Structure 1
Amino acid sequence: MRITSAAALLPLASAFVIFDAEVFNNLETSSRRVIEKGQNIVADVEESARNAIGKGHQVFEKTQNALDDALEKVVDGAKTTREDVYNRIHKAGCDVESWLEGSSFENSFVTISEDHPDHPDHPHHPPPHHPPPHDGPPHHGPPPHHGKPHHPPHHGKSNLTVYELISKSNYTTKLAKLIDEYPDLVEKLNGTKANFTIFAPIDSAFEKIPHHGDHKPSKEAIEKVLLYHISDSFYPAGRVLHSYTIPTLYEPSDPDLLGHKQRLTVRVTLKGPALNFYSRIVAVNIFGTNGVIHGIDSLLIPPPNVASIIDLLPGEFSTLELGLGKTGLFDKINSTEYEHSGGTFFAPSNFAFKKLGPKINAFLFSKYGQKYLKALLEYHIVVDKTLYTDAFYDAKDDKDAATRPPYYHLDLPTTLEGKSIAVDITRYGPFVSVRLNGFSRVTVHDGVASDGVIQVVSDVLIPPKKPGGGKDAEGFWQGEELSVEEFKERLQPFVDESMEL
């Protein structure tokens, strides 16, 4: 507007005859100033326009690199673990130190300085054992670093697929390179047949993998690992935090071992939400056109079988492993020869055995009590029925896993002939209570394995007196002290005719 007004005055000024040279010179100087000022304004407008275009490009680039925006301030916090620790994770498929974190019979193996943002006394991280009084979101909110403004949900939905987001990010270059080796997987993650959830390991996660010289995993093994990071169900952050297990695209090659797609365990630890007890979620809710991406700080390795996990935790399961070995059951559950499709192992800890008292333990592990020990352990094993906290697979039912309500009851038949375990599960928000036979409880739930699931129990499970077991059984053991004779009486009918695995 100011340029237009100045230009309109110029013809009018030139029409006057002005004889005063000084006045004329002043007018000429003023006109030049007006014109120069107008030119400067035009230059400023052009510069502003260029800046606006530049900012437009930056906004577009930020849209394309939404994953970068979410990860740029958390990658430094995803510190590399000691190589010897991750060597065990990489080799075994689980972290033996974090597997039992948060259980009632073990505090935490995690040590965090008080000034660290992940410390439990941090205002956003109240102790995880305080359940909310309602079925709402957890009080501690999203994962660590959630107070920083770079985190979603501030990010809008990108116009790129989940694959394109990963391939364009500066922080998932190694993951993108691996995915690119599998054209079918690229096509799947670019498609719209499902709303995918990808737990994307950031580049620093790959630095944790121990070096084994020139040895490189086979292409089939790498594909299994990649599929174990992907779900074809939609799990935004809120749903992740209110889940206990999540199905993935990975299915063990032998369908007779598990019979369904392998699941991930979601756990709220002192370090924040984690998958399979050790891989922390460091960024959430990076939305694409066909799903959502969450950043994680460690690769997810498909888990080993039940027997291997028990063997990896001697500090908690040495008594159980000894019993399984003495009765020949360890070799059976560690073998692929016996037919089964998934299963549930209720694993008593060393402390659970200790609660039986020294006399019963002495009897069980003597040559006279070996048959009783075998019958007792068979009462902890369920075959062909895999019970997760929030899903249940029955090998005799061709349907997918049944979704369970917040409260439900099941009677699970064990390998001890005619005896079942009564299971009552109650969920409230991210917390869960699993009761067995009305008394014992699950202290560590959903230990996923390649051939089933482990539910760690607080007490050794003793069969009820009334035949049949289940919710109508009588004489459930409620933790009272038993004599050796009373203990033998409960198991006497099964010492010679217990069901073979």
Structure 2
Amino acid sequence: MKYATVVLPFVAAAAAFVIPDEATAEQLALDTNGPTEKASSSSSPWWHKLSGPVDDLLSSSGNAFDAALDTLNTRAGKLSSFLPKVVDFLPSRDYTSKPGESGHHGGQTNLTVYQAIHASNYTTKFAALVDDYPDLVEKLNSTSANVTAFVPTNKAFEHIPHHDDVPKEFIEKVIQYHIVPGLYPVGRVLFHHTLPTSLIEEHLGGRPQRLRVGLSLFGLRLNFYSKVVVANIETKNGIIHGVESILVPPPPAGKVISLFPTKFSTLQLAAEKTGLSHHRHGDGDGDGDDRPELTGLTLFAPTNTAFERLGPGANAFLFNTEKGLTYLKALLQYHIVVNETLYTDKFYGKKKGEEDGGEGDDDDYYEDGEKKRGEGARHYHLDLPTLLGDAHLAVDVTRWYGFVRVLINGRVHIALEDGLARDGVIQAVDDILIPPRQHGRPASWDLDLDGGIPVGELVARLDPYLERDGGSQNEQEPAAGEL
């Protein structure tokens, strides 16, 4: 049967493949803080704790670390020797050197990426899909530009139900999502947290949808669940990595959140009680929804732990009183950034034309790691506008090669980084983000020292934003997607 009609159910399978089950997520990602529900406010990966003088030390030690990182980068290319091996991925006649002679698992071939996936007995099903799309055939066969292809092995298709009515447009997007422009051997992949794909996403403002990269004790994985099983097959026009699962473009942020009730059930309840769960993109279809279409979003999603840390008094006020719901909505709005998507290693800013009539994107506010390699640690500061009026989030990003530390409002770390969504990114936080006291209003409470926040302090922090708009803030705010 032609595999152009065998890919996936349109919605259900997409969610299933993009997001792992909760046990897997706990094992693969949430363990950065230990058991998330029991983590203290100071729990974070060790590099998150670098601050002040230590950052200065890293910044001034570029030369000392460059040699070490060069060695690490070289050895990273040999990571594939620890991966499960796909024997004879390509017939030996197609190699210009035997596998392993170049220091890589896969070896080299004079074939193009397109020719190589057809020559291999392990990728015939994916190759059959590609054949139905001339533009993709050209992309994988052309030598005018290099590509990196994360190719599902035939085994990845074994448990996919047969569907004859899957739209060709959807299958094309799935294939595009496996193709990354440029050369990304394993050594370079490890210096990134996300990678841009050939899938251009309208809900990201026409920017590339991205793949999440993660290295754990269980191997190199993409989007939490798809393991790299063969690496660094060098072709005439790029590199092939074999993966054990099909990569499917992520669903909207609201769907992602709903798949983790033990982590985000309180956030879901808050969204429902405040009406934010009914927000959606403006679509210009004449149905009365004239809010502008989103071009990406960043959701700093508070976990159940974050709400618990507010204390029982604050939670009772927010969730169980009519007045409290107004403050709860304001609190949620302070966690949502629209039209700006902040990954830990890439920033999709507002289109310049939206503000000054210019052209191009403000995407290179900070750049991919290798562009600034050799300059040690680099620090970037961003003030991100939220849905809470003119309340901004102060975000500081410190990048040191493959390590990234993100600090929000000077104190909150990201508990789980780069949860990909169709319309943006989810950065999970284990502390509620609360606007700082305005000038002239001294703080009387510190979460780290005092624990749960008093209701009076919470009200004082949010009141200025409610009062300015007469208690009905942001009635015309752009849609924030479905939370």
Q: TM-score scaled to structure 2, two decimals?
A: 0.74
How far off its partner does 1:396 sit?
2.4
Residue aligned with 2:329, SS? helix
Q: Deviations over 1:91-134 (max 9, x none)?
A: 563224344533245559xxxxxxxxxxxxxxxxxxx9677995
Other-structure match for 2:298: 344
Other-structure match for 1:286: 233
Other-structure match for 1:449: 421
Distance 2:157 2:405 in 1: 36
Identify the match of residue 239 of structure 1 among 176, 180, 188: 188
Other-structure match for 2:89: none
User: Is 1:319 equivalent to 2:266 in the alignment?
Assistant: yes
Cα distance, 1:312–1:156 mapped onto 2, change above 3 Å: closer
How far off its partner does 1:467 sit?
6.6
Cα distance, 1:477–1:284 mapped onto 2, change above 3 Å: farther
Cα distance, 1:345–1:155 mapped onto 2, change above 3 Å: closer
Listed as ranges, the matches of 1:182-197 within 5 Å are 182-197=133-148
Other-structure match for 1:359: 313
Listed as ranges, the matches of 1:418-429 within 5 Å are 418-429=390-401
Distance 2:47 2:83 in 1: 20
Q: Deviations over 1:279-298 (max 9, x none)?
A: 11111111111111111110
Identify the match of residue 498 of structure 1 among 465, 469, 473: 473
Other-structure match for 2:53: none
Q: Deviations over 1:242-301 (max 9, x none)?
A: 10110011123xx25543110111111231111111111111111111111111110001
Residue aligned with 1:197, SS? strand
Identify the match of residue 29 of structure 2 among 102, 105, 114: 102
With 426-435 and 312-321 compared, the bigger mean Cα shift is at 426-435
Other-structure match for 1:401: 363
Other-structure match for 2:61: none
Distance 2:141 2:362 in 1: 25
Other-structure match for 1:162: 113
Bigger Rg, which one = 1
How far off its partner does 1:146 sit?
4.0
Report the count of equivalent residues: 391
How far off its partner does 1:192 sit?
2.3
Q: Deviations over 1:459-492 (max 9, x none)?
A: 0000011279xxxx99996534321111111111
Cα distance, 1:297–1:492 mapped onto 2, change above 3 Å: same
The 8 Å contact of residues 175 and 200 in structure 1, kept in 2 or not, is answered as yes
Matched residues, percent identical?
44
Cα distance, 1:131–1:463 mapped onto 2, change above 3 Å: closer
With 190-199 and 355-364 compared, the bigger mean Cα shift is at 190-199
Cα distance, 1:477–1:242 mapped onto 2, change above 3 Å: farther
The 8 Å contact of residues 152 and 244 in structure 2, kept in 1 or not, is answered as yes
Letter in 1 for 2:239: V
Other-structure match for 1:269: 216
Q: Deviations over 1:294-328 (max 9, x none)?
A: 11110001100011111111110000011011111
Distance 1:90 1:204 in 2: 20
The 8 Å contact of residues 351 and 361 in structure 2, kept in 1 or not, is answered as no
With 451-460 and 154-163 compared, the bigger mean Cα shift is at 154-163
Letter in 2 for 1:142: L
Other-structure match for 1:485: 456
Distance 1:223 1:307 in 2: 24
Residue aligned with 2:382, SS? strand
Cα distance, 1:185–1:284 mapped onto 2, change above 3 Å: same
Cα distance, 1:284–1:129 mapped onto 2, change above 3 Å: farther
Other-structure match for 1:414: 386
How far off its partner does 1:204 sit?
0.3
Other-structure match for 1:48: none
Other-structure match for 1:219: 168
Distance 2:436 2:445 in 1: 5
Cα distance, 1:90–1:306 mapped onto 2, change above 3 Å: closer
Distance 1:282 1:94 in 2: 19
How far off its partner does 1:415 sit?
1.0
Q: Deviations over 1:354-394 (max 9, x none)?
A: 01100001101022200000000100000111111111111
Distance 1:477 1:450 in 2: 36
Residue aligned with 1:164, SS? helix
User: Is 1:390 equivalent to 2:341 in the alignment?
Assistant: no
Q: TM-score scaled to structure 1, two decimals?
A: 0.71
Other-structure match for 2:405: 433
The 8 Å contact of residues 296 and 339 in structure 2, kept in 1 or not, is answered as yes
Listed as ranges, the matches of 1:51-200 within 5 Å are 91=16, 93-97=18-22, 98-99=24-25, 101-103=28-30, 104-105=32-33, 107=35, 136=69, 137=72, 142-143=79-80, 145-146=82-83, 153=104, 156-200=107-151
The 8 Å contact of residues 47 and 404 in structure 2, kept in 1 or not, is answered as no
Cα distance, 1:384–1:278 mapped onto 2, change above 3 Å: same
Distance 1:319 1:144 in 2: 43
The one of the two structures with greater contact order (alpha-carbon pairs below 8 A, sep at least 6) is 2
Other-structure match for 1:114: none
Structure 1: runs of 5+ lacking an equivalent: 1-82, 109-127
Letter in 1 for 2:174: V
The 8 Å contact of residues 415 and 498 in structure 1, kept in 2 or not, is answered as no
With 473-482 and 97-106 compared, the bigger mean Cα shift is at 473-482
Letter in 2 for 1:463: P
Letter in 1 for 2:145: A
User: Is 1:328 equivalent to 2:275 in the alignment?
Assistant: yes
The 8 Å contact of residues 341 and 348 in structure 2, kept in 1 or not, is answered as yes
User: Is 1:309 equivalent to 2:260 in the alignment?
Assistant: no
